[in-house]
Amino acid sequence: MHPEPCPQASIKRETWVLRVLLAVSWVALLACSGCAAMQRDGLPFSTPFGVGVGEAPVTAAQLDAIGPVWYMDWRWYTPTIEGHERLYVIRCWEVGQDQGAIPSAMRASGSAWWSLGNEPNDPHQDNVTPEEYAELYHTFEGWAQSARRCHILPAGIANADWKWAEAFRQAFHEKYARYPRVDGWNIHNYILEPGLDPYEIGEFQRRILAFHRWMEAIGDGHKPLFLTEFGVLYGDGCCGRPLDPPEKIQSFMREAVHWLLDSDVVTCWAWFATYSELYNGDLMTNEGQLNDLGMTYRELVHTR
């Protein structure tokens, strides 16, 4: 959200009224300084740092141990974790099954951010074509219109694939004679292809920069870019890959986060994950205690 510019007062009375309104707004802001849902500096959340909540549910105290982070758990119906902002996620397959619960939840969520789907371009995730996704997103738009205050995003697009995003956008235009309402864009960024180094920070940066250049080309460069999943999935013994030294992923995390902070291209980001049970990158043990990587992320959260 971008604040509207204040018009110059033409008479003393207007100037006085404006000053009173500004004073009241400032008092209200101070009163709400502890509110987790407060948006700061026009950003979606009060912090750019987020986490993906994995297989094991987490408590407010466990997220507090990391710091003031926002979170997503790839769901919309789970209870909200007190004191932490949230991105709500609707899965593509839920759209056709909904009987009104989702739009009702969107209306109740106020100015929260909602995303439709999870990696629609990945055959192992939501796995829909750009044309199919355009129809689903049109329904999602209608729900958001009834909610009015909420903000909406497309799904986290795997590999930060701007070509898939463009195909979705064009498919929507062909079907509905307009482009979709998009309050921001949403990507995931892992380096998983055979022959590529999953720790290659240059490739990590290249994909994000390419997506943002595409956003600028379509006139969306001013909108938030969410990176709702990033990390290094392999390296913990899964998926036919050997174990990597833990220091290697800590180094990648530091380098990636410092670049995200310095580049000012991505608005907010979420590390995958608190505890995934299978993949590399867990921030916690299965008992919910921070491990060495979790301590590294906490350090980054508090030293930004």
pLDDT digit string, tens, across residues 165-216? 999 999 999 999 999 999 999 999 999 999 999 999 999 999 999 999 999 9
Helix axes 162-176, 201-217, angle to 10 degrees: 20
Residue 147 included in any domain: yes
Quote the CA–CA distance of 120 and 127 in Å, as a whole number.
5
Structural domain count, the chain: 1
Q: What are phi and psi of 301, to 5 degrees?
A: -60, -40
Longest dimension (CA), the chain: 73
Quote the CA–CA distance of 279 and 256 in Å, as a whole number.
18
Residue 22 included in any domain: no
Quote the CA–CA distance of 202 and 273 in Å, as a whole number.
22
Residue 33 included in any domain: no
Q: Which two tokens stand for residue 153?
A: 């995003």
pLDDT at residue 239 in the model = 84
Q: What is the pTM of this model?
A: 0.86
Q: What count of other Cβ atoms lies within 10 Å of the Cβ of residue 65?
A: 17
Least confident of 45-49, 70-74, 172-176, 233-237: 233-237
Residue 266 included in any domain: yes
pLDDT at residue 202 in the model = 98
Contacts of 83 (CB under 8 A, 6+ apart): 36, 60, 63, 64
The band of 42, judged by pLDDT with boundaries at 50, 70 and 90, is: low
The band of 136, judged by pLDDT with boundaries at 50, 70 and 90, is: very high
Question: Do residues 50 and 66 make contact, with C-beta atoms less than 8 angstroms apart?
Answer: no
Residue 260's H or E segment, with its range, is helix 246-263
Residue 251 included in any domain: yes
Domain that holds residue 263: 39-302
Residue 5 included in any domain: no
Q: What are phi and psi of 234, to 5 degrees?
A: -90, 165
| DSSP labels, 291-302 | -HHHHHHHHHHH
Give the residue, 80 or 18, on which the prediction is more confident.
80
Least confident of 75-79, 150-154, 222-226, 274-278: 274-278
DSSP 144: H
Residue 130 included in any domain: yes
Question: Do residues 143 and 149 make contact, with C-beta atoms less than 8 angstroms apart?
Answer: no
Residue 217's H or E segment, with its range, is helix 201-217
Quick one: CA dihedral 50, 41, 254, 160, positive or negative?
positive
Quote the CA–CA distance of 230 and 190 in Å, as a whole number.
6
Q: Which amino acid is residue 194, in one-letter code?
A: P
pLDDT at residue 1 in the model = 40
Residue 282: CATH number of its domain: 3.20.20.80
Least confident of 36-40, 77-81, 209-213: 36-40
Residue 180 included in any domain: yes
The answer on pLDDT for 141 being more than 70 is yes
The band of 72, judged by pLDDT with boundaries at 50, 70 and 90, is: very high
The answer on pLDDT for 29 being more than 80 is no
Overall average pLDDT of the 264-281 stretch: 95
Beta strands in the chain (DSSP E): 49-52, 70-72, 87-90, 113-118, 151-156, 185-189, 225-230, 268-272
